[in-house]
Structure 1
Amino acid sequence: MGVSQRLKSRFRKFLQRPGTTVDLAPFRKRLPAIEAREEALRELDDEALTAAAQEASDFTEVSAIGREAARRALDQRAYDVQLLGAMALLSSKVAEMATGEGKTLTAAIAAYGHVRLGRGPVHVLTVNDYLARRDAEWMEPVYTRLGLTVGWVTETSTPEERRAAYLSDVTYVSVSEAGFDYLRDQLVTDVTDRVQRELATAIVDEADSILIDEARVPMVLAGSITTESDPVHEAAELVRDLRSGKDFEVADDGRSVAFTEAGLQRVEEKLGGVDLYADDQVEHLSAVNVALHAHALLRRDVDYIVRNGSVELIDEMRGRVAQRRRWPDGLQAAVEAKEGLSATAEGEVLDTITVQAYIALYATVCGMTATAVHVGEQLREYFKLEVAVIPSNAENIRDDEPDRIYSVHDDRDRALVEEIQIAHDKGRPVLIGTLDVKASELLAKQLAAAGIPCNVLNAKNDAEEATIIAEAGAVGAVTVSTQMAGRGVDIRLGGSDEKDRDRVVELGGLYVIGSGRHDSRRVDDQLRGRAGRQGDPGGSVFFVSLEDELVTRHAGDILPSSPRMDMDGVVHDDQVDYAVEHAQRVAEGVNHEIHRNTWRYSVVIEQQRIALAERRERLLTSEVAAIMLLERSPEKAKETDEDVLSDAGRAIALYHLDRLWAEHLAELSEVREGVHLRALGKLDPLDEFHRAAVPAFQDLFTKIEARTIETFEEADLSEGWQPERAEIVRPSATWTYLVHDNPFGSELDRLIAAVGRRLTAGN
């Protein structure tokens, strides 16, 4: 079976496979026993309750005591469904709980239970710093009554603050900060410099976002290196005045661009008549191609924003700035050049680990989110996690209308503004979700022209997020926001103080409108879920245009040429309804296959990392290096003071291990970038990658030993151990960042996308 056929087979399985969820019956059976403990626990004073909390050893007692601690600390008695969620987390499941159902308290009770069951310390992994600090401070009174300590880590935390936070029983930290701390701990030369303890239990908030959407995102620890010229900035000037259609052509899917003969000739003339495809012009050719991609395909206020003199990438799943995120392969520098900004340092990669690989280091993993079922198969495939769907405490009475589909953008936008106007005139609060920053700003202008005031929440003002979202349920409020996934703030009817709640309820509650379908149903469901929380009334509808990129890219071939529509441009055609739904499923399938493809490559690297980490741990915590030197360089070793031999051997061996690992990662990165070209020769890219990666790693330990002995024999140890004199100085500065997906993908990624488009014609 060829690559194309295998991909088609997987796509069909992805589109057709039903999801399965965990049976809640065993958890429900415990609820009567939990409630039976309530009266006795209420009679205990705080000191006695804390003492009882230290003795809990099963789900029933953990849940009962957790409920009582929350009642006293927060005046919140956990609902039965929250206890079901906590028991699901204690059973290492992903709990799907609707927006507004109290996931934060559920996680706190589960964290307490994991500690009591001997699975501590517990890390509650969040999507951002704001939620890490907010939730830790919010739940601290509960933990105090349970006799546990709690800490939090953010980007601004010092090493001392991080170490103290990780010493707590429960630590709240964004997944990226936790990963960065792990990477830094992997490079310490003294055990006391570490900040983390063992990675025992992770409770993953917004589990689908972190475990699926961000799973393949590499977290990077970089070190300073000296650089010479910057060919990308020169290339940016060369392509700045090139025109689409004349000098270059963009592919239909918007993911690739190529020079025309005329365009290539113009660039070569600007470079003095060089042949860009000559062997000595590889660097120039690469820089020019990257600059052309940045110029033609990456869009300001869609893919990135420019703020405070720097390029900030936008997380397409959340519609907000992706903190400390960079594009790979020179794209970051190319966009900075395009915008007339100085290039920021990328540095040499000292170590890197994907979010997925980092999470896998925990002995116990569980999570919670409002939207897990859609990715249940992937959670099972990559993490062996099952989904437990927790029912809502109150019946969901939200009115979800069918999509309103329009043939063109103009008709859709006009109808959208009219719909908002009608609701606003009544005083009904409206929340409109847009697909990107540019769309949110355009809609805000259209609303202003119609005399409708609105608040805009997007990547440019995400610092005001909590305030804007908290008031989105006030009478007459109109809030325009990019994606709502991971926002972490409930919208209360009548405003944050709920003073006008009754009036908003009479008006039908919060009205959520999507101004287009996202590539992921989960993101759309997160938006819908902002209305109808805890049995509140509410409504939702999506306005879709057949000119939307999702539809044109993934369903253009199956749209009828003349769909049925009314005088207002609203399409009423079952085939069109099917096409929109199918486009979204295919987009999800494409992303799933790209995830699987990336994961297949990372498996071998993670196996190598684990083996290397074990070797490094032995070097760091034992006398392995000194013993090796005694065996391989006996004369000098015996002449050296024992303490000096121990310190020097350890430092030299660790230096070369870290140095060679960085070189190995750089080599694998180059192999990974070029390996898909071999697919053109009918070779399996993954097999070719393994053929390069495995022997390269096998040579690594031999090289570490050889270089360690060579440096030791050349080092002057007459005045004790001084790393500078042995020329093993580590980088003068290190920093961390996340690598954003290359928006254009690899050659195989584009093949996967092409197969997805072809499948739309066959289904």
Structure 2
Amino acid sequence: MQLLGKIMGDPNKKDLKAIQPIVDKINALEPTIKKLSDEELQAKTAEFRSQLFLHLKGGMVLEDELVKLFQEALTEVEPLAKQCNDEMLRLSVREYRQKLDRSQHHTADLKDHLQDTLSDCFEVGYEKLSPLFNTLRVTAAMDKAEEDQQWPDETSDPQQATHSLLQKVESAIEEIDEELFQTAFDLSWKHFEQAKNAATNAEDKADERLEQLLGDILKKLQPEIVAIKAEAMDKLLPAIVKRYRTGKTLDDLLPEAFAVAREAGWRVIKMRHYDVQLIGGTVLHQGKIAEMKTGEGKTLVATLPIYLNALTGRGVHLVTVNDYLAKRDSEWMGRIYTFLGLTVGVIVNAVEPQTPERQAAYQCDITYGTNNEFGFDYLRDNMVTSLEQTVQRSLNYAIVDEVDNILIDEARTPLIISGQGQESTDMYAKFARWAPRLKPETDYTVEEKLRVVMLTEDGITKIEQLAGVQNIYEEANIDLTRYMENAIKAQVLFKLDKDYIVNDGEVIIVDEFTGRQMPGRRYSEGLHQAIEAKEGVAVQRENHTLATITFQNYFRLYEKLAGMTGTALTEAEELNKIYKLDVIVIPSNKPTARQDMSDLIYRTGDAKFKAVVEEIKERYEKGQPVLVGTTSVETSEHLSHLLEMQGIPHNVLNAKYHEHEAQIVAQAGRSGTVTIATNMAGRGTDIVLGGNAEGYFDSILRKHAERVDYIHDMPERNEDERAEKQEAIQQHIENMTEGEKEELFQQKVIECKEDHDRVLELGGLHIIGTERHESRRIDNQLRGRAGRQGDPGSSRFFLALDDELMRRFAADRVAGIMERVGMEEDMPLESKLVSRFIEGAQTQVEGRNFDMRKHVVDYDDVIAKQREVIYSDRRAVLERGNMHERIIEMIRSEVARLVDACIPSNMVTEEEELETLFKTLEVWVNIPEELVPENMHAVRRDQVKKDMIDLIVENYERRGAELKNQASEQGLENFEPQREFERSYLLQVVDRLWMDHIDSLDVMRQGIGFRSLAQRDPLVEFKNEAFRMFDELKVAIQHYTVDALLKLMNSDLTITVDPPAPQRKQPRNVRTNTEDIARVTGQAKTDGGQERTKAAQGQARKNGPQRNGGNRAVATATRAPSTMGKVGRNDLCPCGSGKKYKKCHGA
């Protein structure tokens, strides 16, 4: 690889070199832009949009302009063009123009130059006009032959004479290769001779035969003539483009737009983009990932491509990892956008789903939000029952902040909207009591690397005795093994305050990477319920999936995707293979001055933490700020306890205290500050040496208020007194004037500046890692918190042989080394060999995790294609509204299918065949006796099919007309109840069957791996099975939709007018907790080593036909109870509720 790099060069350097001229252009424009007034700078946005629009319309879609330009070029190269009228020219380019219309929403087309567009268009247009030109050429050639009285077929050399004649009327003939002309002439002359020999009179129709000869030759030479003319027109294009092209592409606008955004940033928030930030912005615009070190200003960098791409008016999404950052950045950077005339919205969990507020946020030019919110809104938009309820626009361009966290760590986390099931939860509590009775190794074995448990024969026997069954693998008892395995996992693999915490009677997952709480996320396959039973809290029922998508597939829906992070290079291969995203490392503005020291390895955890405390104490006494990274809540609290024993003041940032995150991080760079944080917590907020006065100003105000005499003297002996004191503090802050607050703020700014200089002298921020993570990237993220913007800093990891990574991969080898050299327990080992062991283990785990994520992609891609079909079909129902023609076609198809099923042969062979068919159809329509044949054996299947289809369709149309008349009589003009039923029922059936289909695919996916035992590829088997199931789904959608509608139409329906009922926001048994899940981001581990967490999110569904118009009455269909007819218990209830009959009117 090193040799290849020397030969090919560093691709990263090549990319940076290619961008440098763009940066030079931006810098060259800066003096001019600086001279503009605020009004002139703000007017640039409208100017850019105008130029962009002119490019789009002139280069792509305006038919009139294409015709005009084509006519100009054509007249120059084709003398016969003057005989083409405007309509001929228009038709010749229309197909090409329509092709552009269909593809105009693709970003690639925005980059097409007008010259390339016109070149393709002119060639297509000329080719379409060529048959006309050939006809005109033949006429002109015949006129010339008569004028000269020289007929080619009467000469001694017909080929030469023909060539000479055609050349006189079409100059392009001269440029055609002689062999090509000879071949065309020989074939045409052969036909000419045959026609001449067949004529009864040699002189008869001689002119017609000669015309045919010339026409055949020109037809065969047409591709060459088209190519020659197209080339001639291409030579004219630069001059044409120069005169007509006034628009610009986004790439054309980039230098000036970036210069404008840079100047606006300085004027509005006093921040100017460095050259390296201009490089980063260009990389993001190109749809790549910019790796920028901590503190290099990624938040500011994003303003450049966001401003540029927002000019299209098609929306730009900035994706963050939590609500705090989304809100902060939208307000902070939003000042730049609003100054330049763009609109900014933010999507946070406080904004209710499917509300005007959320719709308005998406309609803005720029929308900030979390990955969860964007993903759930996409799913909810594909569950609504009317187009007005959708909130998102097309997915145009997204920039993902902390892209590695979202696209790598979160990759296997599906977003799932689910409804609660009906299963009992008693079994979980029972098995939670039994699990401690089983003995490790004797009754079960644990595979820590894969996080799975396996029952032994003794364990199976013990469970059978406890459950009182003979065989747990019988079909009736098969769930018992799942309950037991989950109970054991909950007991031995998932630890309180490490993998989860219990808060207010709820088990909340803790992200292993960030240490943040993840409310709303639940382990799948019953594991979460097992943990709830273990902890003695209320066990919630399992959920059934209503809609799901992985982040991998959601973000691949965007037309253009980009990302930024401090650590992506180690995952470059995965990002390229899965997302087609290249990683470009952006150089830092100042050289990195951080000192990364070698790891220290101890034999035991106690010895390690003792050394960590000593290191912290030493740095604390010097006054140097220290950030300690831990891998779990449990570890952070253990270390906090040790520091308390030493009397070292410190702040703890973990899942239990995440609400104080911003203020803790803002103070972490102050001298003498010790901060303990779980990995990656506080990401997105810079640790500024000396502290960030703005970041912890709320804390400053509170401390200022606490020092006021009357507040300081207030007692805090009980809860009421403490609450009273807090209220007094808040009141005092509110009573402070803006001037007093500003004065206090400026004092703190000066203090922070002085402290900044002091911390620089002490060596900057010191990072201590208490354990190596599975991923090198997470370790690099921790190290990257120090040494921002060229500041000094240092880092060191303290390890122990009983750390999880060491224990699983390298403990034996390292222990052997330590024993051979006779090291004591508290003596550290510092060895490059051990570091290589650790790096090898991390690489091994990263490779395994990549394979697992790729495995998820391979399987989820199958579901994604099906989801795309269902969602686009569903969208078509919402957009078209009137589905009558489609429903009639479904009725015809379904009746035909049933006839074929009941009568397998072309003729009826048994009376039972017709009887079965009529019995099946009688719930849909009353079959008149005249349609029942006397001699059933003489009946053809096709005739039966035609009769039944005609009867049912005719009855359906008649009932539709009757209902429309009833509605009209009730004062509802132009209201067609049947059309409302069609749309409503189709959506209900699609949603219900799609939900069942997802569950079925999930079940199949879990067991498909066993196919490998039969030497079959599980992925291929899954694709085949999923394809078969999808075909069955389409048939089922047709059947249940037709069945419900025909039963409804065959009943005694009446149309009445009722006052509009209040809309229920959420249906029962639907879990809705987006408000919790959106607050955090991360990854949770689930069964079988797969990290799959189900985030339940509900969406209200409005069932039945409704007309909302303020206080206007709503038309409802009412069926008389006496005419309900015979309805199957598992059929959709005819009342239109969308529920099964047995759970509605049949309950």
* TM-score (normalizing by structure 1): 0.91
| Structure 1 residue 53 corresponds to structure 2 residue 45 | yes
Structure 1 stretch displaced more, 468-477 or 251-260 = 251-260
| 1:628 CA displacement | 2.5
Aligned residue pairs, count: 727
Counterpart position of 1:67: 262
Name the Cα RMSD after superposition. Answer: 2.5
| Structure 1 residue 495 corresponds to structure 2 residue 753 | no
| 1:191 CA displacement | 0.1
| 1:166 CA displacement | 0.6
Counterpart position of 1:131: 325
Q: The residue matched to 2:798 in structure 1 has which SS?
A: strand
Q: The residue matched to 2:648 in structure 1 has which SS?
A: coil
Task: Map 1:615-634 to 2 at 5 A.
Answer: 615-623=873-881, 625-631=883-889, 632=891, 633-634=952-953
| Structure 1 residue 664 corresponds to structure 2 residue 997 | yes
Kept after mapping to 2: 8 A contact 1:232/1:334: yes
CA distance in 2, matches of 1:123, 1:747: 29
| Structure 1 residue 98 corresponds to structure 2 residue 353 | no
Kept after mapping to 2: 8 A contact 1:66/1:109: yes
Counterpart position of 1:643: 976
Distance 1:267 1:324, change over 3 A: same
Counterpart position of 2:529: 333
Task: Map 1:331-370 to 2 at 5 A.
Answer: 331-370=527-566
Residue deviations 1:187-207 (CA, integer Å, cap 9, x gap): 111000011111111111101
The one-letter code sitting in structure 2 at the alignment partner of 1:700 is L
Residue deviations 1:223-277 (CA, integer Å, cap 9, x gap): 2444445422222222244443554433354722234555444443332355323
| Structure 1 residue 107 corresponds to structure 2 residue 450 | no
Q: Select the residue among 30, 34, 43 that pairs with 1:42.
A: 34
Residue deviations 1:71-105 (CA, integer Å, cap 9, x gap): 11101111111111111111111011111111111
Counterpart position of 2:183: none
The one-letter code sitting in structure 2 at the alignment partner of 1:589 is G
Distance 1:19 1:528, change over 3 A: farther
| Structure 1 residue 455 corresponds to structure 2 residue 710 | no
Q: The residue matched to 1:745 in structure 2 has which SS?
A: helix
Task: Map 1:306-325 to 2 at 5 A.
Answer: 306-325=502-521
Counterpart position of 1:539: 794
Counterpart position of 2:1007: 674
Unmatched 5+ stretches in structure 2:
1-8, 49-249, 694-751, 892-951, 965-974, 1093-1147
Distance 1:43 1:287, change over 3 A: same
CA distance in 1, matches of 2:822, 2:15: 45
Distance 1:113 1:412, change over 3 A: same
Counterpart position of 2:775: 520
CA distance in 2, matches of 1:389, 1:299: 38
Structure 1 stretch displaced more, 411-420 or 163-172 = 411-420
The one-letter code sitting in structure 1 at the alignment partner of 2:995 is A
| Structure 1 residue 147 corresponds to structure 2 residue 341 | yes
| Structure 1 residue 239 corresponds to structure 2 residue 582 | no
| 1:344 CA displacement | 2.9
CA distance in 2, matches of 1:440, 1:19: 41
Say which structure, 1 or 2, has more relative contact order (CA 8 Å, 6+ apart): 1
Distance 1:395 1:575, change over 3 A: closer
| Structure 1 residue 83 corresponds to structure 2 residue 267 | no
Counterpart position of 2:51: none
Q: The residue matched to 2:333 in structure 1 has which SS?
A: helix
Counterpart position of 1:608: 866
| 1:212 CA displacement | 1.2
Kept after mapping to 2: 8 A contact 1:242/1:248: yes
Kept after mapping to 2: 8 A contact 1:19/1:376: no
Counterpart position of 1:654: 987
Kept after mapping to 2: 8 A contact 1:637/1:645: no
Q: The residue matched to 2:445 in structure 1 has which SS?
A: strand
Distance 1:192 1:250, change over 3 A: same
CA distance in 2, matches of 1:748, 1:676: 17
| 1:682 CA displacement | 2.6
Task: Map 1:318-467 to 2 at 5 A.
Answer: 318-467=514-663
| 1:463 CA displacement | 0.7
Counterpart position of 1:300: 496
CA distance in 1, matches of 2:480, 2:542: 19
Counterpart position of 2:763: 508
Q: Select the residue among 1072, 1097, 1100 that pairs with 1:735.
A: 1072
Kept after mapping to 2: 8 A contact 1:20/1:376: no
CA distance in 2, matches of 1:307, 1:516: 26
CA distance in 2, matches of 1:225, 1:549: 37
Residue deviations 1:8-54 (CA, integer Å, cap 9, x gap): xxxxxxxxxx9953611232212232123223322323222111133
Distance 1:722 1:734, change over 3 A: farther
The one-letter code sitting in structure 1 at the alignment partner of 2:475 is D
CA distance in 2, matches of 1:578, 1:742: 27
The one-letter code sitting in structure 1 at the alignment partner of 2:286 is S
Task: Map 1:184-223 to 2 at 5 A.
Answer: 184-223=380-419
| 1:367 CA displacement | 0.7
CA distance in 1, matches of 2:861, 2:1086: 22
Counterpart position of 1:757: none
The one-letter code sitting in structure 2 at the alignment partner of 1:24 is L
Kept after mapping to 2: 8 A contact 1:314/1:322: yes
Kept after mapping to 2: 8 A contact 1:151/1:164: yes
Kept after mapping to 2: 8 A contact 1:472/1:478: yes
CA distance in 1, matches of 2:581, 2:1052: 54
Structure 1 stretch displaced more, 563-572 or 149-158 = 563-572
Q: Select the residue among 16, 19, 28 that pairs with 1:27.
A: 19
| 1:319 CA displacement | 1.6
CA distance in 2, matches of 1:283, 1:667: 17
Counterpart position of 1:758: none
Counterpart position of 1:719: 1054
| 1:422 CA displacement | 0.8
CA distance in 2, matches of 1:492, 1:326: 36
Identity of aligned pairs, percent? 40
| 1:486 CA displacement | 6.2
Q: The residue matched to 1:147 in structure 2 has which SS?
A: coil
Counterpart position of 1:171: 367
Residue deviations 1:518-577 (CA, integer Å, cap 9, x gap): 111111111111111111111111112232211221234654623347555222444322
Distance 1:252 1:649, change over 3 A: closer
Kept after mapping to 1: 8 A contact 2:556/2:579: yes
Q: The residue matched to 1:199 in structure 2 has which SS?
A: coil
